[in-house]
Amino acid sequence: MKVVVDSNIWISVLINKSYRSFIKELIEKDIRIISSRDQLEEISSVLTRPKISGRIQRQHIKEFLILFLKTVELVEIKETVNDCREEKDNFILETALSGNVNYIITTDDDLLVMNPYKGIEILTVTEFQNKLRIT
């Protein structure tokens, strides 16, 4: 099984430690987490904003990014889409399509309203966890 975990969840892992157990659960279940350079750039950009970087030591950000890269499989984006009502979120769809994933996991309503998208289920963390317990 392959998933894309949206940037908002990754950032929450570092900022307020929420979703850490969820990421750990994915890793323990050998679920492949797919990402892209575009997502890495978005996460890096958000983490260097003064509002966030002033609260977190630079070393912790660096360590987080190293762990992120060890955890995910980077894919090259092969297809451009403009289907999301929030244009800046299209790269998540592109990453999912390029990585041939089964699920996008997000808290973003702009993506959640698109479920399903070209055969890819778009779910919240809770919805995905419930689905894992059923199957």
**Average pLDDT, stretch 127-134?**
89
Q: What is the pLDDT of residue 135?
A: 58
**Average pLDDT, stretch 15-35?**
93
Query: Which listed CATH number (3.40.50.1010, 3.30.56.10, 3.60.20.10, 3.40.50.620) goes with 2-134?
Result: 3.40.50.1010
Q: Where are the domains of the chain?
A: 2-134
- Give dist(CA 135, CA 125) in Å, integer: 16
Q: What is the pLDDT of residue 133?
A: 84
User: What DSSP letter does each residue of the chain carry, written as one string?
Assistant: -EEEE-HHHHHHHHHT-TTHHHHHHHHHTTPEEEEEHHHHHHHHHHHTSHHHHTTS-HHHHHHHHHHHHHHSEEE--------SSSGGGHHHHHHHHHTT-SEEE---HHHHTT-SBTTBEEE-HHHHHHHHHH-
First to last CA, the chain: 12
Q: What is the pLDDT of residue 54?
A: 83
> Closest Cα to residue 78, out of 62, 65, 93?
93
Question: Model confidence over 41-60: pLDDT tens digits?
Answer: 999 999 999 988 788 888 99
Query: What is this structure's pTM?
Result: 0.94
Q: What is the pLDDT of residue 52?
A: 84
